[in-house]
Amino acid sequence: MERFFKLKENGTNVSTEIMAGITTFFAMSYILFVNPTILSAAGMPFQAVFLATIISAIIGTLVMGLFANVPYAQAPGMGLNAFFTYTVVFGLGYTWQQALAMVFICGLINIFITITKIRKSIIRAIPESMQHAIGGGIGIFVAYVGLKNANLLTFSADSDSIIGATVEGNEVISADINGGIVPALANFDNSAVLLALIGLVLMTILVVANVRGAVLIGIVGTTIIGIFMGVVDFSAVDWQASSLSKSIKELGTTFGAAFGKEGMQSLFNDSAKVPQVIMTVIAFSLSDTFDTIGTFIGTGRRTGIFSKEDEAALEDSKGMNTKMDRALFSDAVATSIGAVFGTSNTTTFVESAAGIGTGGRTGLTSVTVAVMFGLSSLFSPLISIVPAQATAPALVLVGIMMLSSFKDINWVDLEEAVPAFFASIFMGLCYSISYGIAAGFIFYSIVKIIKGKTKEVSPILWFIDLLFILNFVILAVL
């Protein structure tokens, strides 16, 4: 194990890696239940998506751990699954089988741009100041996800601010609110919010005191406290409803559905819709690609997971000789695998930062996550009792740790500060890693045009700016 994962070389050991893997799993375990909930709204069988989520996470994460030897976990991505259901299926009117076909094509595109070094060229084209901004932005994003998951924030809006809603029967599935939403601190008048606050204080104490395994101890401790506070309810666990046998039976509905008559075989039948299909696939690919690049830059640069040799190899490496090469390839392959089994884009999870924050540095962390996902197929009801209030503080603390990237940005110089703001602060405010990066890139180019320094903008960034702008225009028209 030492020889395979090079633990000493990476300044870690078996116990640290296993603890990091368990921490990452619990930080992202919500996807086991949220992903099926979102995709089942599109007509997909809940238990089939549940098992497809597990399988895609296991395969993608194992490839990441064993092939790339980096501590990143993969699973169907949040945001991408919502785009799948509410935009592609509900908004554009495609079947979920056709949407899966688009995701599969997206995976092939990502494999192509990885093998042909286009993805690495994109990373190489990102200015150093923007890389620091993305790193700090990931920290803000992760911390914001934690605060949101803990329900420590409340949002209010008047009826005039509601510009659209998705309704199914008499139930409002989602609502679009434009400008009138006001965030505020939640009232500490219920057990769940109080538990989140207790968990945040407990984990802060453990982390600041440098207690070994602080994050994992905090998650377990908060869950136990939640039992006594009535937030965790064992009596509500339904062992039969989510049995493995039922999931395997329903998986037959989604496995390979992307290639059937209602999927790939009918996707390009209407020539008038072909441009729309192409732009939808590009939208999937852009979001997937830049979520991953942002996560790698944000977590790998500061921790040394990707060494200076890895970064230097972006210039002239061939094949799969570096960890960065193999990590990008592992991420690309996972999306197509997930589509085959029946789930939206499988991508590198930003919650991997939780395990990295506790010391995870090698693929052993990823293998541990994969093992935990495998066990979850047998004990999913038991795992489901770990409340969001227990895992959310971990994300907040890890996000705080990642803010150190901001120290390398010259915030006094607006030429550097404006693009950095949009690539970092805006990333959290718009709740999207890829859109934050898009805004940062676009404003970086605008600033350079104003300053007469267009030669400092890589041709690759100009092309990416054009793709993002085209993507925003198409989505606005649709």
Closest CA to 76 of 438, 306, 373: 373
3-state secondary structure of 172: strand
Q: Are 263 and 257 in contact (CB under 8 A)?
A: yes
Strand 153-156 and strand 162-168: the pairing is unpaired
Write the pLDDT tens digit of every residue in 296-306: 877 876 677 87
Write the pLDDT tens digit of every residue in 223-256: 899 999 989 877 666 666 556 777 888 899 999 9
pLDDT for res 173: 66
Q: Are 88 and 102 in contact (CB under 8 A)?
A: yes
DSSP state at residue 77: P
* C-alpha distance from residue 295 to each of 51, 74, 108, 307, 371 (Å): 25, 12, 21, 15, 22
CA distance 147 to 281: 32
Instruction: Pull the structure tokens for residue 215.
Output: 């994050």
CA distance 126 to 457: 9
Q: Are 408 and 250 in contact (CB under 8 A)?
A: no
In angstroms, what is the C-alpha Rg of the chain? 22
Helices (H) and strands (E) in the chain, counts: 21, 6
3-state secondary structure of 464: helix
Segments in the chain below pLDDT 50: none
CA distance 123 to 79: 22
Alpha helix segments (H runs only) across 268-387: 274-303, 308-316, 323-341, 352-357, 363-383
Closest CA to 430 of 421, 311, 65: 421
CA 476 to chain CA centroid, Å, is: 24
Closest CA to 396 of 437, 348, 353, 356: 353
CA distance 456 to 131: 15
Q: Which positions ≥6 away from 209 have C-beta within 8 Å?
A: none
Q: Are 408 and 134 in contact (CB under 8 A)?
A: no
The secondary element (H helix, E strand) that includes residue 175 is strand 171-177
Give me the phi and psi of 348, to 5 degrees please.
Answer: -70, 125
CA distance 34 to 123: 31
* Torsion angle, alpha carbons of 278, 279, 284, 287, to 10: 140
**Residue 63: CB atoms within 10 Å:** 22
3-state secondary structure of 164: strand
Maximum CA extent, the chain: 66
Q: Is 464 exposed, middle or buried (0-12, 13-18, 19+ CB in 10 A)?
A: buried
DSSP conformation letters of 68-112: I-----EEEPTTHHHIIIIIIIIIT---HHHHHHHHHHHHHHHHH
pLDDT for res 311: 63
* C-alpha distance from residue 300 to each of 119, 202, 357, 427 (Å): 16, 27, 11, 18
The secondary element (H helix, E strand) that includes residue 120 is helix 118-125
Q: What is the 3-state secondary structure (H, E, C) of 384-439?
A: CCCCHHHHHHHHHHHHHHHHHHHHHCCCCCHHHHHHHHHHHHHHHHCCCHHHHHHH
DSSP state at residue 186: P
CA distance 2 to 455: 47
CA distance 306 to 281: 29
